[in-house]
Amino acid sequence: MIKVLIVEDEEKIARFIELELKHEGYEVDKALDGRTGAEKALTNDYDLILLDILLPQLNGLEVLRRIRREKNTPTIMLTARDSVMDKVAGLDAGADDYLTKPFAIEELLARIRVALKHHEVDSISSQVSSNVPTKNVFTIKGVSLDVDRREVCVNNNSIELTTKEFEVLRMLMEHAGVVMSRERIASEALGYEFAGETNNVDVHIAHLRAKIDDRYNTKLITTVRGVGYVIREI
- pLDDT in tens for each of the 234 residues of the chain? 899 999 999 999 999 999 999 999 999 999 999 999 999 999 999 999 999 998 999 999 999 989 988 888 999 999 887 667 777 778 777 888 888 888 899 999 998 998 888 766 555 444 544 454 444 889 999 999 998 888 999 988 999 988 888 999 999 998 889 999 988 888 888 776 555 556 788 888 999 999 999 999 889 999 998 889 999 887
Q: Which residues contact 34 (CB under 8 A, 6 or more apart)?
A: 7, 55, 56, 57, 58, 59, 60, 62, 63
What length does the chain have? 234
Is the previous residue joined to 102 through a cis bond, with omega within 30 degrees of 0?
yes
Q: Rg of the chain's alpha carbons, rounded to an integer?
A: 18
Q: Which helix (H) or strand (E) holds 120?
A: helix 105-131
In the DSSP assignment, the letter for residue 70 is T
Contacts of 33 (CB under 8 A, 6+ apart): 9, 55, 56, 57, 58
**Mean pLDDT, all residues of the chain:** 86
Provide the pLDDT for residue 114: 85
Q: Do strands 228-231 and 221-224 pair parallel, antiparallel, or not at all (unpaired)?
A: antiparallel
In whole angstroms, give the CA distance from residue 99 to residue 178. Answer: 29
Domain annotation for the chain: domains and CATH numbers:
3-123 (3.40.50.2300), 133-231 (1.10.10.10)
Alpha carbon 192 to its chain's center: 11
Cβ atoms within 10 Å, residue 119: 17
The values of phi and psi at residue 58, to 5°, are -155, 120
